[in-house]
């Protein structure tokens, strides 16, 4: 079942496979490891409120993309900032609200017995509801895109992989990057540079990096510039420009490079590249060919 609700205040795409009145599943999509009960992308231009309702699935993910939300589990409210994630589990009383315009994505799933069941237990064992996880926005968007196609080849296989990738990131969150625990301040500044060096293709925002180190972005920007002479933002753009140069030498198309580097348009990529090197990507490619 696929539908869009639209009026002056909201537009919601939903692919729902659950009847709230009868509490019955209505031909859900089955993958190897999951039963997918609901996928939604919601836009609200005014304040909204989703009243208390019992969570019917093993796990529901609510990801806030614009302005943030307030989410509740068993009447305990938590703030979910922009690019934040909230989890709700089976049997809990769940609710959402926001006073401002909002955009959020929802994924509700049941787990099948098998290799992914330990992921659910690991996520529950964390004892944490809200996470700062801008990196999963792309995964959730890809999941929603798959639903919009709905009859595409390899649908179930792709959905299974995408959902597993999201769950692994949640289960690993905070376990492989104890950056805030680095004792030496100089070591932290060095680790910030290494963080960008190793993640510049996946880094969604520098606020994400600041959160990992336990500081605000304004603070790390000052200490980073004092140590390296440039802000983290400038250094990130420099890393992207260097990588773009290597791709241009290999003959990659500008559209492909823009996607790889995370730019929304080719124009934005070209502008950022020119700001760093003083010439456009096309001019750089031509100059490089003449130098051979």
**What pLDDT, in 10s, does the model give residues 188-236?**
888 889 889 888 877 767 877 777 777 778 888 888 998 899 999 999 9
- Alpha carbons 167 and 156: distance in angstroms, whole number: 17
pLDDT over 70 for what percent of the chain?
Answer: 84
- The answer on 244 and 147 residing in a single domain is no
- The answer on 202 and 115 residing in a single domain is no
- Alpha carbons 10 and 223: distance in angstroms, whole number: 42
Bridge partners (DSSP) of residue 43 are 11, 103
- The answer on 66 and 19 residing in a single domain is yes
- The answer on 92 and 143 residing in a single domain is yes
- The answer on 190 and 156 residing in a single domain is no
- The answer on 193 and 164 residing in a single domain is no
In tens, the pLDDT along 64-98 reads: 887 788 899 998 998 888 778 999 999 999 898 88
Q: How many domains does the chain have?
A: 3
34: domain CATH number is: 2.60.120.10
Residue with more model confidence, 76 or 44: 76
- The answer on 155 and 216 residing in a single domain is no
Tokens 């064992």 locate to: 125
Residue with more model confidence, 22 or 124: 124
Give the pLDDT confidence score for residue 280 in this predicted structure.
94
- The answer on 128 and 22 residing in a single domain is yes
- The answer on 54 and 14 residing in a single domain is yes
Domain that holds residue 156: 2-172
Q: Taking residues 264-274, what's their average pLDDT?
A: 90
- The answer on 265 and 164 residing in a single domain is no
Most confident of 19-33, 158-172, 204-218: 158-172
Q: Left, alpha or beta for 212 (phi > 0: left; psi -120 to 50: alpha)?
A: alpha
- The answer on 279 and 150 residing in a single domain is no
Distances (CA, A) of 242 to 61, 200, 280: 36, 11, 13
- The answer on 208 and 86 residing in a single domain is no
244: domain CATH number is: 1.10.10.60
């Amino acid at each position: 079942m696929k539908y869009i609700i639209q009026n002056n205040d909201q537009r919601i795409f939903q692919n729902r496979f659950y009847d709230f009145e009868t509490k019955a599943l209505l031909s859900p999509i089955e993958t190897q490891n999951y039963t997918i009960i609901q996928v939604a992308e919601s836009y609200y231009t005014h304040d909204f409120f989703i009243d208390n309702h019992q969570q019917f699935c093993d796990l529901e993910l609510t990801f806030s993309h614009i302005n943030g939300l307030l989410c509740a589990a068993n009447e305990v409210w938590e703030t979910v900032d922009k690019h934040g994630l909230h989890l709700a589990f089976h049997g809990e009383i769940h609710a959402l609200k926001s006073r401002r315009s909002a955009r959020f994505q929802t994924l509700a799933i049941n787990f099948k017995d098998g290799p992914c069941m330990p992921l659910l237990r690991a996520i529950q064992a964390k004892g944490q509801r809200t996470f700062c996880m801008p990196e999963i926005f792309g995964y959730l968007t890809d999941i929603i895109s798959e639903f919009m196609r709905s009859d595409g080849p390899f649908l179930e296989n792709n959905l299974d992989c995408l959902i597993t990738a999201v769950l692994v990131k949640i289960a690993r969150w905070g376990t492989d990057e104890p950056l805030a625990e680095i004792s030496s301040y100089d070591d932290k500044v060095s680790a910030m540079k290494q963080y960008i060096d190793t993640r510049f293709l996946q880094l969604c925002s520098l606020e994400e990096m600041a959160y990992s180190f336990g500081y605000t972005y304004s603070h790390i920007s000052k200490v980073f510039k004092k140590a390296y002479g440039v802000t983290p933002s400038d250094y990130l753009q420099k890393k992207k420009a260097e990588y773009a140069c290597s791709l241009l030498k290999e003959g990659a198309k500008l559209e492909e490079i823009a996607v790889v580097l995370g730019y929304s348009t080719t124009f934005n990529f070209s502008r950022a590249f020119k700001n760093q090197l003083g010439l456009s990507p096309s001019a750089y490619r031509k100059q490089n060919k003449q130098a051979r």
